């Protein structure tokens, strides 16, 4: 399990998990789940297009995910953001369907673009994944305070002269970068799962930002590692396990939250009783 | 005429079926879509297509009726979103995301089992991209019946749905059970989306749900007129798309035409972009002026920006 091609899977999976944990934390915090779903799916169309004209799929992925980020960011200024995101998504998927109709691709290739093939990662794929991963985490680090401020206290951010829409577009570009590197590895549908499940779970456990960010990365890592192990043992698609473990973390977080709330309600109740 | 309609367009049986299915799904999607857009639930509307698709691939694997799978999957998904908290604006986004993520994982498993255990090829593509030209004519009656039921359900909850979509406070003051109405709407949306996913594929399903509605909401201020305008845009784009896709078999150098979903979505996207142009708004103002319509006394769409 730790030899040969599996080494690549472990390396790629670990990088993807860290990036998804960090970027996903802000996706959940900012309520950008829909763009985070739309950008990887749109990028899938880019890969199909690149395949059709015979260039590196990574270029197609990059161009399309960037176009998606800029398109969603730009059109959102003058329309309802969620409707605009839906329209941008279906437009790119339709382009993808058009590309696929003109190419003679085999079905398994479509399947792997959508659902990923982490066990089939090649050594040459690791370097671009690592580079894009480091760049997107660096961007998050640079934007960190601004992202937090515009998400948590929009009024204060406006008072400091931050333009929320500019920050939004900048963040979508970071999502686009994270997408470009992760789609070939875990697939368009499951990078989304990894960006939502672990961060949403982490926020149930703590209110502190740094702690939640750390937990989010930890949950994402455990999810990916367990998923690789299970996928290796059963030969079932890795995406199924990624979503199962993400959901388990989320449900555990919800349970923890409910228990905490009950307990604090009880504590307040007893204080009130003691005072009266 | 000759150049617009390539030979055999009006004589082809699959074209007749496609035109009928396209019109029915476009109208149901447009009516449900106007409320989806007003309530800012586009993400849920789109996610339900993916959840329905998961149900469809599960039904495919278990060998039960795909229509049952699509609609069952959608309704279960709508219930799950309600449980996680789709009715609260703050957690709506995340609730939808969690359900969508779980459904994607299940879809991966079902499609994998479909393709490895049965020898049917094309399952992935058919389920994901669907084609309006390959609709089984025997499913039409069921699609029509369920569409009518969905429209009736929306008609039945029209007033409370409208009020709770615009103002939670007003709904509470009137004694409307906003969560119950929200859940009924989600289920209606799930059925509509499940129907259109199986009939025209999941890409077109979202496009027909959100596109015409988002366009009409930018053009007119009454909810009723928005519903009518959205239905017209939906039917016109669907029919034009079918025509272009049919013709494209003659345009393309290869023997493969372009998929119908590409044309319909492109037309919907262009009409949305056009609805933002000042020229279009000026024309509508002028039309309104010349027909002498008085300003609305009912709820106007512009007040529901949030």
Select from A39, A40, A42, A57 the least CA-distant residue to A95: A42
Asked if residue B296 has pLDDT above 50, the reply is no
Is position B110 within any domain? Answer: yes
The string of pLDDT tens digits covering residues B132-165 is 666 667 778 888 898 999 999 999 999 999 998 8
Sequence-distant (≥ 6) Cβ neighbours of residue B32 within 8 angstroms? B45, B150, B154, B188, B189, B192, B193, B209
Residue A250 has its nearest CB partner, among B98, B105, B124, at B98
Q: For chain B, how many structural domains are there in total?
A: 1
Interface contact B203-A80, CB threshold 8 A: no
- Please report which helix (H) or strand (E) contains residue B218, including its range: helix B202-219
Interface test with B, best of A23, A24, A29, A33 (most B CBs within 10 A): A33
Interface contact B101-A193, CB threshold 8 A: yes
Is position B4 within any domain? Answer: no
Enter the tokens of residue B259.
Answer: 């998929």
User: CA–CA separation, B240 vs B19, rounded Å?
Assistant: 10
Asked if residue B47 has pLDDT above 80, the reply is yes
Cβ atoms within 10 Å of B294's Cβ, excluding its own: 6
User: CA–CA separation, A244 vs A240, rounded Å?
Assistant: 6
- Report the Cα–Cα distance between both ends of chain B, in Å, rounded: 46
Residue A80 has its nearest CB partner, among B40, B101, B259, at B40
Chain B residues whose beta carbon lies within 8 Å of the beta carbon of residue A44: none
What's the gap in Å between the CA of B49 and the closest CA on chain A? 12
Q: Helices (DSSP H) in B39-130: which residue ranges?
A: 42-62, 66-84, 89-117, 123-129
Enter the tokens of residue A142.
Answer: 């640079």
Q: Which pLDDT score, from 0 to 100, does residue B128 have?
A: 59
Q: Which pLDDT score, from 0 to 100, does residue B303 have?
A: 46
What's the gap in Å between the CA of B264 and the closest CA on chain A? 9
Q: Which pLDDT score, from 0 to 100, does residue B67 have?
A: 79
Radius of gyration of chain B (CA): 20
DSSP 3-state of B120: coil
Cβ proximity of B262 and A97 under 8 Å: yes
The string of pLDDT tens digits covering residues B273-294 is 998 888 887 887 787 777 655 4
The domain of B90 spans: 13-304
Which whole number is the average pLDDT over A18-37?
90
- Average pLDDT over chain A reads 84
Interface test with A, best of B108, B123, B133, B274 (most A CBs within 10 A): B108
Interface contact A89-B46, CB threshold 8 A: yes
What's the gap in Å between the CA of B183 and the closest CA on chain A? 20
Q: Which pLDDT score, from 0 to 100, does residue B305 have?
A: 41
What's the gap in Å between the CA of A88 and the closest CA on chain B? 8
Q: How many residues does chain B have?
A: 306
Which whole number is the average pLDDT over B109-113?
81
Is position B55 within any domain? Answer: yes
User: CA–CA separation, A26 vs A36, rounded Å?
Assistant: 10
Which whole number is the average pLDDT over A26-36?
89
Cβ proximity of B124 and B115 under 8 Å: yes
- Which of A4-8, A157-161, B206-210, B294-298 is least confident? B294-298
Interface test with B, best of A29, A78, A97, A152 (most B CBs within 10 A): A97
Residue B124 has its nearest CB partner, among A84, A102, A110, at A110
- Please report which helix (H) or strand (E) contains residue B233, including its range: helix B223-251
Interface contact A190-B121, CB threshold 8 A: no
Enter the tokens of residue B135.
Answer: 């609709």
Asked if residue A149 has pLDDT above 90, the reply is no
- CATH for B70: 1.10.3470.10
Burial label, A264 (beta-carbon count in 10 A; 0-12, 13-18, 19+): exposed
Among chain A residues, the shortest Cα distance to B115 is held by A108
Is position B45 within any domain? Answer: yes
Select from A238, A230, A203, A235 the least CA-distant residue to A219: A203
User: CA–CA separation, A189 vs A219, rounded Å?
Assistant: 19
**Domains, chain A:** 5-275 (1.10.3470.10)
Is position B8 within any domain? Answer: no
| DSSP letter for each residue of A125-161 | HHHHHHHHHHHHHHHHHHHHHHHHHHHH-HHHHHHTT
Is position B24 within any domain? Answer: yes
Is position B212 within any domain? Answer: yes
The string of pLDDT tens digits covering residues A259-272 is 888 888 888 777 77
Interface test with A, best of B50, B99, B105, B266 (most A CBs within 10 A): B105
User: CA–CA separation, B244 vs B263, rounded Å?
Assistant: 7
Is position B7 within any domain? Answer: no
User: CA–CA separation, B240 vs B286, rounded Å?
Assistant: 27
Cβ proximity of A37 and A47 under 8 Å: no
User: CA–CA separation, A269 vs B252, rounded Å?
Assistant: 74
Among chain B residues, the shortest Cα distance to A197 is held by B98
Interface contact A107-B211, CB threshold 8 A: no
Enter the tokens of residue B99.
Answer: 């359900």
Interface contact A94-B207, CB threshold 8 A: yes
Which whole number is the average pLDDT over B256-269?
86
Sequence-distant (≥ 6) Cβ neighbours of residue A206 within 8 angstroms? A212, A215
- Local structure of residue B132 (DSSP, 8 states): G
Among chain A residues, the shortest Cα distance to B106 is held by A240
Cβ proximity of A21 and A220 under 8 Å: yes
What's the gap in Å between the CA of A218 and the closest CA on chain B? 18
pLDDT band at B297 (very low <50, low <70, confident <90, very high): very low
Among chain B residues, the shortest Cα distance to A239 is held by B105
Q: Which pLDDT score, from 0 to 100, does residue B35 have?
A: 94
The string of pLDDT tens digits covering residues A192-216 is 888 999 999 998 898 888 899 999 9
Cα separations (Å) of A136 from A27, A31, A62, B116?
A: 13, 19, 13, 36
User: CA–CA separation, B130 vs B196, rounded Å?
Assistant: 10
Among chain A residues, the shortest Cα distance to B268 is held by A87
Residue B210 has its nearest CB partner, among A87, A196, A237, at A87
Sequence-distant (≥ 6) Cβ neighbours of residue A10 within 8 angstroms? A2, A225, A228
């Amino acid at each position: 399990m730790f030899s040969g091609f599996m080494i690549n899977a472990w390396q790629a999976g670990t990088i993807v998990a860290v990036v998804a944990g960090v970027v996903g934390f802000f996706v959940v915090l900012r309520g950008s789940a829909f763009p985070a779903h739309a950008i990887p799916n749109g990028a899938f169309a880019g890969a199909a297009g690149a395949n059709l004209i015979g260039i590196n799929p990574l270029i197609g992925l990059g161009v399309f995910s960037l176009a998606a980020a800029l398109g969603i960011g730009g059109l959102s200024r003058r329309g309802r953001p969620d409707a605009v995101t839906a329209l941008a998504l279906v437009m790119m998927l339709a382009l993808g369907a058009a590309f696929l109709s003109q190419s003679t691709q085999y079905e398994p290739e479509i399947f792997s673009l959508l659902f990923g093939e982490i066990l089939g990662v090649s050594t040459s794929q690791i370097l671009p994944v690592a580079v894009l991963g480091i760049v997107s985490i660096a961007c998050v680090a640079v934007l960190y305070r601004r992202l937090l401020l515009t998400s948590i206290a929009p009024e204060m951010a406006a008072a400091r002269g931050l333009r929320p829409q500019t920050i939004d577009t900048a963040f979508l570009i970071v999502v686009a970068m994270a997408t470009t590197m992760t789609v070939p590895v875990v697939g368009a549908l499951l990078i989304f799962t990894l960006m939502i499940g672990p961060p949403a779970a982490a926020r149930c456990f703590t209110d502190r930002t740094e702690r939640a960010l750390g937990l989010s990365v930890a949950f994402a890592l455990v999810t990916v590692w367990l998923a690789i192990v299970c996928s290796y043992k059963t030969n079932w698609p890795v995406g199924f396990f990624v979503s199962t473990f993400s959901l388990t973390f989320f449900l555990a977080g919800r349970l923890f939250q409910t228990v905490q709330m009950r307990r604090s309600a009880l504590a307040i109740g007893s204080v009130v009783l003691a005072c009266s | 005429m000759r150049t617009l309609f390539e030979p055999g367009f009006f004589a082809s049986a699959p074209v007749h079926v496609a035109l009928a299915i396209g019109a029915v799904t476009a109208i149901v999607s447009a009516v449900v879509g106007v409320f989806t857009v007003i309530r800012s639930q586009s993400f849920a509307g789109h996610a339900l297509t993916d959840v329905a698709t998961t149900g469809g691939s599960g039904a495919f694997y278990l060998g039960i009726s795909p229509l049952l799978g699509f609609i069952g999957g959608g309704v279960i998904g709508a219930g799950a979103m309600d449980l996680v908290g789709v009715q609260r604006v703050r957690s709506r986004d995340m609730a939808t995301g969690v359900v969508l993520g779980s459904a994607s994982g299940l879809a991966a498993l079902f499609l994998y089992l479909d393709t490895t255990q049965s020898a049917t090829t094309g399952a992935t593509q058919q389920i994901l991209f669907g084609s309006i030209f390959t609709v089984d004519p025997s499913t039409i009656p069921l699609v029509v019946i369920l569409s009518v039921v969905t429209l009736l359900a929306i008609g039945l909850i029209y007033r409370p749905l409208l009020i709770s979509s615009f103002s939670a406070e007003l709904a509470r003051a009137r004694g409307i059970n906003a969560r119950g109405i929200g859940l009924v709407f989600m289920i209606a949306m799930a059925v509509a989306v499940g129907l259109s996913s199986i009939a025209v594929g999941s890409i077109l399903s979202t496009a027909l749900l959100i596109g015409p509605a988002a366009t009409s909401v930018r053009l007119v201020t009454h909810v009723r007129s928005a519903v009518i305008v959205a239905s017209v845009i939906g039917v016109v784009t669907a029919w034009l798309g079918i025509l272009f896709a049919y013709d494209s078999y003659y345009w393309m150098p290869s023997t493969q035409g372009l998929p119908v979903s590409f044309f319909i979505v492109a037309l919907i996207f262009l009409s949305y972009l056009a609805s933002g142009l000042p020229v279009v708004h000026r024309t509508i103002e002028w039309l309104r002026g010349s027909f002498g319509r008085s300003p609305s006394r009912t709820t106007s769409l512009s007040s529901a920006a949030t």
